[in-house]
Amino acid sequence: MGSDVAAAAARSNAALCAAVCAGNGIASTSDGLVWRCDGVPPPLFPALVTLAAGTADADVSGVLGGIKDSFSVLEPRRFRLAVEGRWLWRDAPPGRGAPWSVAATAAEVQAWTDRRTGGATGAFGAWVLRDPRVALVSLDGGACVLFDGGDVIDVSNLSGSATYDAAAAAAGELFGDRPLAAWESGAVPPGWADAGAMRVWLPE
């Protein structure tokens, strides 16, 4: 797959990051080449995501968190390589899968968060109930986050025994028949394609 697919995956993921920041009262900006959080991002979310292949010289000064190097081209000073992964792509969701449910009340959001974090403060809260693009999904003995990025549905934050196949099926039922993107540091799951290398850098 070419860089256009990786760019589409990166844009969808960055849109989720922007939504999470906004939900937590943090501004962010994008110039089409780089998405940047204007403050400290919520836990486990990056402060910068590259959006296009020609970003080897992206300015990362002042970044207050991790960097999602969407095309594995950065060598940022004062950052350490934390994860080497791959973008994942699926042209369409599979047929109906395992039963699933979406957290639809403040209590359900809190319960979903508690199961994932053990009660620790996380990025997701009652704000997701006001953003129809974000779905906190319980399925297949685990959980995931689905995000309606417009042209692409982003699949992320898998936990427990949730599988990419089950998450993709839920995404299709929830948001319709569109391509799906995700990223993974392990093996490419069945039914998904390798859309290119990406990396995560953390401050030293």
Taking the CA atoms of the chain, what radius of gyration do you get in angstroms? 16
How many Å apart are CA 150 and CA 132, to the nearest integer? 12
HEC letters along 50-83: ECCCCCCCCCCCCCCCCEEECCCCCCCCCEEEEE
| pTM of the complete model | 0.94
pLDDT tens digits for 41-89?
998 899 999 999 877 788 888 899 999 999 999 999 999 999 999 999 9
pLDDT tens digits for 143-187?
999 999 999 999 999 999 999 999 999 999 999 999 999 999 999
**For residue 120, pLDDT beyond 80:** no
